[in-house]
Amino acid sequence: MVKSTRHAKYELYYHIVFIPKYREPRLMGATKERLKTIFAEICDDKDLELVEVEIMPDHVHLFVGSPPRNEPSLLVNWLKGISARYYNQRYDDRIKWTRSYYVGTAGSVS
């Protein structure tokens, strides 16, 4: 769906993939559900559209819609940094993400 700001019409979606430190297969069960909640909370706070979340045991796939003022590296920084901080403050088991990530764009051209 096309959205707009004062000066732009846009339809920007990013496919973001990142992994936990040492690619440990620990994103299962309660951890998976907690992370889904945290990602939704971050997207609400930052005015992003969380279209899809898929958490595998050793990596995370996010499909996020964003206004053009946010560059993809900033989105990844928010999602990884804030999620680790929130998770580690709220729960006893700790989570760390690697510095690497994948980001791809998706949308339509008319």
DSSP string, 9-43: EE--EEEEEE-BGGG-S---THHHHHHHHHHHHHH
What pLDDT is stored for residue 5 in this prediction? 85
What pLDDT is stored for residue 2 in this prediction? 84
Q: What is the spatial distance between Cα 54 and Cα 62, in angstroms, rounded to a whole number?
A: 6
What pLDDT is stored for residue 109 in this prediction? 61
pTM for the complete prediction?
A: 0.92
Conformation bin of residue 107: beta by default, left when phi > 0, alpha when psi is -120 to 50 = left
Residue 32 domain-assigned?
A: yes
Report the number of distinct structural domains present in the chain. Answer: 1
Among residues 72, 50, 70, 45, the alpha carbon closest in space to that of 62 is found at 50
Residue 58 domain-assigned?
A: yes
Residue 81 domain-assigned?
A: yes
Residue 4 domain-assigned?
A: no
What pLDDT is stored for residue 4 in this prediction? 86
Residue 45 domain-assigned?
A: yes
Q: Name the residue with tokens 């996020």.
A: 64
Containing domain of residue 90, as a range?
9-106
pLDDT for 56 beyond 90: yes
Task: Yes or no: say if 38 and 83 are a contact pair by the CB < 8 Å rule.
Answer: yes
pLDDT for 110 beyond 70: no
CATH number at residue 42: 3.30.70.1290
Residue 95 domain-assigned?
A: yes
What is the average per-residue pLDDT within 47-69?
95
Residue 79 domain-assigned?
A: yes
